[in-house]
């Protein structure tokens, strides 16, 4: 594989070499990075559930969908910079790369501050709106408020990771995340397991760890000789770069938010089934987070790959990589789904250790049931995310935004509202996901086959 040399720093071009090999080698560090990222939330649930019991586990799990809703918008919006940078990098325009990097850093910092203030202020009100039970509320508020205090490093890490991924550097973000993930697990055990502190200390451990990963990324970005070097004297908003970043990033942010909003409504309905269902579905969501890893890793890799190749006007190569990425995502997701279908109950059981054996059995039963309803349809989820990644790389971020808004938000909410009014059974909630995955996959398939998704890059 050819490499891009700039000031003694090696950055990686995704426009040379066998597409399948390039995508796999680029996506694998992203996968590992996502794996360690998932350890943040999973460590909190696992350690809290085993040391503090079902009420504390329910509190942490009730916060997951809300955290995703608020953070995913800003992270998605900053992802627009990755699309812009990958295109300029593929075209060899390093001056525009530099302007986009500096604009993105300031934009992300502002987003992180806004999110922290909003999250800390609004946490109790949103949790009450979600119908969190009163016996769970104090722990939920404490956990969420401390988590949102650390939103600046969360948003900044994802922003800086996106910059490095855009120029083909997926390894350094992985190294930094390994360090911070190990630190997070160690601090969780120390604060909760050894010292017996409350659930808010799990959030504090996460904030400390995410701050470390952000600092490591910042040190790398300010190093001399990097393609994406961050220089303090150049930190300013470039209006053209900001326009491009928001053009490609805002639809992704909106897309993530509407999905998060729909998931908050799902969580609200789960809350109506009580704390055992909250604990079970929360444990399942942590497990499903690992299922998402290969899916999201290939989707993110496809975005950078497509962006660089279209920027370099290598259209046939872009299409070849897109086909490989879709097929790989679908196969990986379904293999994982089959494993989860048969062993879901065992995985759920690792998240809870409570003195009430009947409660534990009920939690495992609910979680295993959710596994059986959803897991065999993961291939649909993978297909939708793969095509969405291709669209974003091609500058068509508005397409996945509209599809997700229609299907994963509007249709999902309508289905849940109608289904719950007819019959208040939790299995009907579980069915909302494979149903909407199927509908979105049909729409994506038609778009991918019938549209000219490279349009706008040919000239």
Residue 352 contacts residue 279 (beta carbons within 8 Å) = yes
Contact (CB, 8 A) for 384 and 408 = no
Is the predicted pLDDT of residue 202 greater than 80, yes or no?
Answer: yes
* 135-177: pLDDT as tens digits: 778 888 888 888 888 889 988 988 898 888 888 787 888 888 8
Tokens of 317: 């190569």
At residue 13 the predicted structure's pLDDT band, cuts being 50, 70 and 90, is confident
State how far the Cα of 378 lies from the Cα of 322, in Å rounded to an integer. 19
Closest CA to 399 of 326, 438, 454, 436: 454
Strands 9-12, 3-6: pairing kind:
antiparallel
Position 64 scores a pLDDT of 66
What contacts 10, CB < 8 A, 6 or more positions away?
3, 4
pLDDT at 5 over 50: no
Residue with tokens 């494993």: 339
Of 6, 42, 17, 19, which Cα lies nearest the Cα of 347? 42
- pLDDT beyond 70 at 456: no
Q: Is the pLDDT of residue 334 over 90?
A: yes
* CA Rg value for the chain: 21
Classify burial at 376, counting beta carbons within 10 Å of its beta carbon; exposed 0-12, middle 13-18, buried 19 or more: middle
Q: 343 φ, ψ to 5°?
A: -120, 15
Helix (H) or strand (E) run with residue 29 in it: helix 19-51
Distance between CA atoms of 201 and 43, rounded to whole angstroms?
A: 12
Alpha-carbon 122 to chain mean position: 22
pLDDT band at 458 (very low <50, low <70, confident <90, very high): very low
- 223 DSSP assignment: S
CB 338 within 8 A of CB 399: no
Helix axes 275-311, 315-349, angle to 10 degrees: 160
The 10 Å Cβ neighbour count of residue 118 is 14
The chain-wide mean pLDDT, for the chain, equals 84
Counting residues of the chain whose pLDDT is more than 90, the rounded percentage is: 29
Considering 134-143, 247-256, 301-310, 332-341, the range whose residues carry the highest mean pLDDT is 332-341
Helix (H, G, I), strand (E, B) or coil at 298: helix
Tokens of 52: 């503090």
Nearest to 28 by CA among 301, 214, 337: 301
Residue 8 has pLDDT above 50, yes or no: no
Residue 381 confidence (pLDDT)? 94
Predicted confidence band of residue 290 (pLDDT cuts 50, 70, 90): confident
Q: How confident is the model at residue 10 (pLDDT cuts 50, 70, 90)?
A: very low
pLDDT of residue 6: 44
pLDDT of residue 4: 45
Contact 379, 327 (CB under 8 A): no
**What does the pLDDT read at residue 40?**
64
pLDDT in tens, 52-97: 776 777 767 666 666 766 677 777 776 678 888 888 887 888 898 8
pLDDT at 93: 87
Q: Each residue of 404-432: pLDDT tens digit?
A: 889 988 999 999 999 999 999 999 999 99
> Which residues of 78-209 form beta strands (DSSP E)?
none
Residue 389 or 254, more confident: 389
Least confident of 157-166, 313-322, 331-340: 157-166
Which of the residue ranges 112-126, 260-274, 355-369 would you say has the lowest mean pLDDT? 260-274
What is the pLDDT at residue 327? Answer: 95
Write out the H or E segment, with its range, that includes residue 156.
helix 151-166
Whether pLDDT at 107 is above 80: yes
Beta bridge partners of 10: 5
Helix axes 54-90 and 94-129, enclosed angle (nearest 10): 160
Reported confidence tier of residue 1, pLDDT bands at 50, 70, 90: very low
Q: Please tell me the predicted confidence (pLDDT) of residue 78.
A: 67
Between 7 and 329, residue with greater pLDDT = 329
- The alpha helices in 189-274, defined as continuous H runs, are 200-221, 239-271
Q: Is pLDDT of 7 > 70?
A: no
**Between residues 46 and 375, the one the model is more confident about:** 375
DSSP string, 344-371: HHHHHHTT---S-HHHHHHHHHHHHHHH
Please tell me the least confidently modeled range out of 82-86, 242-246, 251-255, 285-289: 251-255
Q: Tell me which residue of 244, 243, 214, 236 sits closest to 83, measured CA to CA.
A: 244
Alpha-carbon gap, residue 244 to 234, rounded angstroms: 18
> pLDDT at position 61, please?
65
């Amino acid at each position: 594989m050819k490499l891009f040399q700039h000031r003694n720093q090696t950055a990686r071009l995704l426009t040379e070499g066998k597409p399948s090999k390039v995508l796999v080698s680029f996506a694998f560090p992203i996968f590992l990075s996502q794996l360690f990222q998932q350890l943040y939330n999973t460590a909190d649930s696992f350690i809290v559930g085993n040391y503090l019991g079902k009420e504390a586990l329910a509190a942490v799990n009730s916060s997951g969908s809300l955290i995703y809703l608020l953070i995913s918008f800003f992270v998605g919006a900053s992802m627009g910079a990755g699309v812009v940078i990958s295109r300029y990098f593929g075209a060899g325009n390093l001056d525009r790369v530099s302007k986009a990097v500096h604009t993105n850093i300031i934009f992300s910092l502002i987003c992180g501050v806004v999110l922290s203030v909003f999250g800390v202020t609004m946490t109790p009100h949103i949790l009450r709106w979600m119908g969190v039970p009163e016996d769970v509320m104090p722990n939920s508020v404490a956990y969420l408020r401390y988590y949102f205090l650390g939103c600046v490093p969360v948003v900044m890490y994802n922003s800086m990771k996106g910059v490095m991924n855009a120029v083909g550097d997926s390894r350094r973000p992985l190294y930094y995340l390994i360090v911070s993930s190990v630190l997070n697990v160690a601090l969780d055990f120390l604060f909760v397991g050894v010292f017996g502190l409350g659930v808010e200390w799990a959030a504090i451990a996460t904030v400390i760890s995410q701050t470390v990963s952000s600092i490591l990324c910042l040190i790398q970005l300010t190093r001399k000789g990097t393609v994406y070097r961050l220089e303090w004297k150049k930190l300013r908003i470039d209006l053209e770069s900001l326009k491009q970043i928001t053009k490609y990033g805002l639809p992704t942010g909106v897309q993530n938010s509407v999905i998060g909003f729909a998931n908050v409504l799902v969580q609200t309905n789960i809350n109506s089934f009580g704390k055992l269902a909250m604990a079970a579905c929360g444990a399942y969501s942590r497990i499903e987070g690992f299922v998402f890893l290969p899916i999201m890793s290939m989707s993110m890799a496809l975005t950078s790959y497509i962006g660089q190749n279209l920027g370099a006007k290598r259209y046939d190569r872009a299409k070849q990589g897109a086909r490989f990425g879709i097929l790989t995502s679908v196969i990986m997701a379904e293999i994982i789904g089959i494993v989860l279908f048969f062993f879901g109950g065992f995985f759920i059981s690792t998240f809870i250790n409570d003195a009430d054996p009947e409660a534990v059995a009920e939690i495992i039963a609910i979680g295993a049931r959710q596994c059986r309803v959803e897991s065999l349809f993961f291939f649909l989820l993978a297909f939708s995310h793969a095509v969405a990644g291709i669209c974003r790389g091609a500058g068509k971020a508005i397409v996945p935004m509209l599809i997700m808004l229609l299907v994963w938000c509007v249709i999902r909410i309508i289905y849940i509202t109608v289904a719950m009014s007819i019959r208040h059974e939790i299995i009907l909630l579980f069915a909302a996901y494979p149903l909407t995955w199927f509908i979105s996959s049909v729409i994506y398939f038609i778009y991918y086959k019938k549209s000219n998704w490279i349009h706008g890059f040919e000239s």
